[in-house]
Amino acid sequence: MTQRPQPVVEISEGIASVTVSLYERSGGAKLGLDQKRFCAVLEEIAAKYLPEGASTFDRQELYSSLKVEDLALAHACAEGSERAWEAFMLRFREKLYDIAGYIAKESSAARELADSLYADLYGTTTREGKRVCKLSSYTGRGSLEGWLRTVLSQEYVNRYRKQKRLVSLDEESEEGEQFAAPEKEETVAVDPRVEAATDDALTALPAEDRFALASYYLDGRTLAEIAKMVGVHESTISRKLDKLAKFLRKQILAGLGRRGMDRRQAQEALDVDVRDLKIAVRTRLAQETRVQTFPDKKAEASTGDGV
Amino acid sequence: MEQLPKIVAQRLQAVSRAETHPDANLLAAFTEKSLLPLEQTQILEHLAGCAECRELVAHAQPEQVLQQVAGAAAPLPVRRSWFSGAKLRWAALAACVVVVGAAVISRTRFTQNASMARFESAPAVVAETQPLPNRAPTEERKSNTDNESESNHVRLKMSVGTKSDGDEVSAAQELQAADSLSPLRAKQRQTERRSPELAEKNNNAPAVTNGIIMGRTASPPAVPPQSTVTAQPEDAKSTKKEFSADKAMKAPAATNEVAQAQPPPSPPAAAAKSAPVLADRQLQKGESGDLGAFNYNAKDGYLGVGASAGTLAGFRGANPRWQLSAEGKLIKSNDAGKSWQTVPVGDKVVFRALCVTGSELWVGGAQGNLFYSSDAGQQWQQVKPTSAGQTLTADIATIEFKDSKHGKVTTADHQTWTTNDGGHDWEIETR
């Protein structure tokens, strides 16, 4: 994922013919993108995604997997072609607002989000005297619509995180919590053997399984959402998660056994979690305080009535 | 869903805190499943430990966007019907099974009823319409004897083997009663038991059975080679005799009367024609006591007027089997494939295709020879498909009829002849 310095790659004859045919297929000429610029874009993409000294075959394979029509459109827009922008607006204007509406869940926020992205795409900001257009970073690996959706999501998440940190003092005072310090997460001492056994069991799992586990148990995604992300049926994810939970429990118990615990101890270490006890105590305490407040008020009221 | 230990969730969260993230291009390609396998694994590896990127990917799902847009247009929550999704699929599957099952059952019943009706009515039609081939009288007699022998053999087997136990007991009781009434008959039966071959010969000799046969034997008719047709009334009476010997023995005068009323069947056609007439007359003699036996058989559903014992055996067990022999002849079996007999259809024609739908048969072969029988092979007629001035003369390779109307004949030179009216009009299609 790290960006390497772009190597100067000599274009062989085979690659040259491929790039020519790709340029013709992309319709870059109609959009005002010349062939030289298109070849340069392809070179940049190859330098970004292929290792140094990659074979001609690898390069051809990468080029053939690109969405060249979208690539030409995006880079023609980045070059400032009017025709390209007309085509872009025609295709994506309404779509961007729709996507923003889905992400922001509120119409004014969605419009603000989409407009800010338009500004970035058009290149209102400058860097070192040059207009920076976000579309020039599009590489054609996925569709332009998918890329726009991802960029919009990124923008939204960044904004949300920034705004989350800024809490209005008025709102806090209304809630009766002036200058409340953030609550510290209590660190719970867990047996290091349990942690080590759990890490071993998790490391042994394939990436897809860990992704499914994290999406379901940490992010709270639904089975349908995870299934769409991975590209399988919902029931497959359900079965997989069920199996994984059982498998992990079994593996951790085995790991604890290897670390010197007998079966009963390992079972207790896994099942009796101190955080459960803490939550129970906290809940109980909260109930008790709430119960205490009402008798006081009632007592005051009865006193007032008596007077 | 199985509960995940809390420690696992905690460690999952702490596993990876990646510093660098994949760019929007790769995430978009991951969402669209257009990455190379290696890249896909790398991205999954990153996503497993990066909550931020998981959130981006979750937001960037195209289907979700479409769903949300549709939801925005109709803000009210869409309540899923109870009859949707998996339930609907299962219900559709169950409905399909029920429909197919009902269709199969009704089809089977219809075929059985149709073939029953045909078997009951077929022999009379054949006897009246089928031209009888010319043969020498000796050959005809031999053929007649052979066929009668075969039909009697089948009849004997039927009377013992295919009846239910209760029927066997009642038949034995009837035989005993008949023996007590007629010592001559008892003696003959004893002889039959001692020598089965002799018994079969005696059975074949109609003089032993009853007056009708005796009358006919006195002036033996020229019997056509397809003796199952002409032997049917006799067989029917013989079968009747087996099941109700006492009643038959009680009324010999009545049967003799019928025999006398029958004209001497000197020409073969007259003989063939007389057989069902005789059976008809016998059936109409309700007051003579013989009708009881007929009714008994008719009630069982396997005996029609003039139906042969051989036909009965095939009918009670299974439909006759049809095949093409290696020499290209049409062969038929009435005993579930134990023995086969050649059916004379189209002289010197080598058949290569056969199609049986219920009691209808189509058989075709070299030089466009196509024959059709609507009555389970009793009567055949040659069909000459013509279309647009062209006649089917090529070798027939396959015949397919899905019902009595709609069928298709393909030839060796890739012509396809189709009919939608049971073979009256044809359409040709050349590939």
Yes or no: say if A181 and A131 are a contact pair by the CB < 8 Å rule.
no
Mean of pLDDT values over B115-144: 46
Residues 233-252 of A with CB under 8 A from B: 238, 241-242, 245-246, 248-249, 252
CA angle A98, A99, A105 (to 5 degrees): 85
Yes or no: say if A68 and A22 are a contact pair by the CB < 8 Å rule.
yes
Task: Tell me the per-residue pLDDT of B126-139, one tens digit each, with 9 for 90 and over.
Answer: 333 344 444 444 44
Mean pLDDT score of chain B: 62
- Which of B62-76, B252-266, B295-309, B376-390 has the largest mean confidence? B376-390
Cβ–Cβ gap B60/A194 under 8 Å: no
- Which of A80-94, A168-182, A188-202, B201-215 has the largest mean confidence? A80-94
The shortest CB-CB distance from A102 to any of B13, B33, B65 is to: B65
B49 contacts on A by Cβ (under 8 Å): 210, 214
Task: Tell me the per-residue pLDDT of B291-313, one tens digit each, with 9 for 90 and over.
Answer: 333 333 333 333 333 333 333 33
B80 contacts on A by Cβ (under 8 Å): none
3-state secondary structure of A130: strand
Tokens of A128: 């070192």
- Which of A171-175, A191-195, A272-276, A302-306 has the largest mean confidence? A191-195
Yes or no: say if B373 and B346 are a contact pair by the CB < 8 Å rule.
no
The answer to whether residue A273 neighbours chain B at the CB level (below 8 Å) is: yes
Alpha-carbon distance of A100 to B326, in angstroms, equals: 77
The answer to whether residue A154 neighbours chain B at the CB level (below 8 Å) is: yes
pLDDT band for position B211 (50/70/90)? very low
Cβ–Cβ gap A207/B31 under 8 Å: no
Interface test with B, best of A154, A194, A250, A256 (most B CBs within 10 A): A154
Q: What is the pLDDT of residue A41?
A: 92
Number of A/B CB contacts below 8 angstroms equals 171
The shortest CB-CB distance from A217 to any of B9, B41, B45 is to: B9
Cβ–Cβ gap B29/A252 under 8 Å: no
Cβ–Cβ gap B24/A103 under 8 Å: no
Nearest CA in chain A to B33: A231
Q: What is the pLDDT of residue A130?
A: 73
Alpha-carbon distance of B250 to B289, in angstroms, equals: 8
Domains of chain A plus CATH, in order, are 13-76 (no CATH), 82-162 (1.10.1740), 202-271 (1.10.10)
Task: Tell me the per-residue pLDDT of B24-46, one tens digit each, with 9 for 90 and over.
Answer: 899 888 888 888 888 888 888 88
Domains of chain B plus CATH, in order, are 6-73 (no CATH), 104-316 (no CATH), 319-430 (2.120.10.80)
A170 pLDDT above the threshold of 90: no
Yes or no: say if B174 and B243 are a contact pair by the CB < 8 Å rule.
yes
Q: In this predicted complex, what is the ipTM?
A: 0.74
The shortest CB-CB distance from B69 to any of A2, A102, A215 is to: A102
